[in-house]
Amino acid sequence: MRRLKLVLVICIFTAKSSSAQFENTDIGARAIGLNGAFTSHANNSLAIFYNPSGLGQLKYREVSAFYSPSQFGISEISTVALTYAEPLGTGTFGFGIKAYGFDLYRETNAVLSYGNNFKDKIFFGLNLDFYNLSIKNYNSASAFGADIGSLAYITDFLKWGFYAKNISGAKIGESKHRIAQVYRTGFTIQPRNDVALILEVEKDTKFPLSFRSGLEYSVNDFIDLRGGVATQPASFSGGVSINYNLFQIEYAVNNYRELGFSNYASLTINFGGGKARKFAREQLKNAFR
């Protein structure tokens, strides 16, 4: 059964990414709880992997660690990631790193990120990527690439976001395999400070359009709930955050029909504490006052 599941994983993800190298996987329990619908929201350090322009929304330093111990019950495809964001007077600078795989096969992606804004309503950002692929007993390979993103506050309840991954067309290895080029765009609808509905589309240049949607609800200052659905492949997800002072403990679960459930966890430290969470909830409406 374990071997069959591993074969299914390989078939599904190689079908989407051609050779599964540096696939555009979701990072962070919060974003996964929204089923990856985070490009137009992007209001924490996860923006590094979803839309670097979103870093321009941050007002406080933030660090986040993510761990997926054994996706689909297979320890060989675990993922770890770390993000860091530092708001300065000249914009917000960020750093992210994620590692996927195990000792025989490992992908590492390190990202330098920058986001800024114009009059706190129009946001723009850039990523510089370093990719490294290591296969035991074979040569490793590296490549450099770039991503861009933008975000805009349209009304006091509506945001639009856009992200282009590997806009530079980076290739890796002797075969010059093109690292996945992915485009995402969509809207965040925030009718109240404690509710956000996110509707987005994703297009890998080689494969059909995928739709993603997520809903986030803040029960109170201490608990956030979220859920999401997606197509290509079909999946649904859910998650919860527990917030206390500087800390946010986040958990998410995602289910693919063919492969079952996977669990994800994140620990986030935002040095603004409760002020940062309140600011993030009210930021959109405050921009139009």
Residue-wise pLDDT tens digits, 156-175: 999 999 999 999 999 988 77
Q: How many CB atoms lie within 10 A of CB 84?
A: 18
Residue-wise pLDDT tens digits, 81-110: 999 999 998 999 999 999 998 888 899 999
Peptide bond into 208 cis (omega under 30): no
pLDDT value at residue 75:
66
pLDDT value at residue 21:
64
Q: What value does the CA radius of gyration of the chain take, rounded to a whole number of Å?
A: 18
Sign of CA dihedral 271, 61, 162, 150: positive
Q: How confident is the model at residue 229 (pLDDT cuts 50, 70, 90)?
A: very high
Q: How many CB atoms lie within 10 A of CB 218?
A: 20
DSSP helix/strand/coil, 56: helix
Sign of CA dihedral 215, 219, 225, 227: negative
Return the closest-CA partner of residue 151 out of 252, 39, 285, 236.
Answer: 39
Return the closest-CA partner of residue 17 out of 174, 175, 180, 133.
Answer: 180
Q: Hey, what are 114's tokens?
A: 């920058």
Return the closest-CA partner of residue 129 out of 113, 116, 151.
Answer: 113
The position carrying tokens 């706190």 is 120
Residue-wise pLDDT tens digits, 170-222: 998 877 888 999 999 999 999 999 999 999 999 998 889 999 999 999 999 99
6 has pLDDT over 50: no
17 has pLDDT over 50: no
User: Model-level pTM?
Assistant: 0.89
The position carrying tokens 């289910």 is 255
CATH hierarchy code of domain 2-286: 2.40.160.60
Return the closest-CA partner of residue 6 out of 71, 67, 69, 68.
Answer: 71
Provide the residue type at 268 as one letter. Answer: T
DSSP helix/strand/coil, 173: coil
Segment 131-140 shows an average pLDDT of 87
Q: For residue 253, what are the CA distances in angstroms to 34, 35, 180?
A: 10, 9, 25
* Interior/surface letters 125-149, b for 16+ CB within 10 angstroms, e for the rest: bbbebebbbbeeeeeebebebebbb
Listed in sequence order, the residues at least 6 apart from 18 whose beta carbon sits closer than 8 Å to its beta carbon are 177, 180, 206
The position carrying tokens 């996927």 is 100
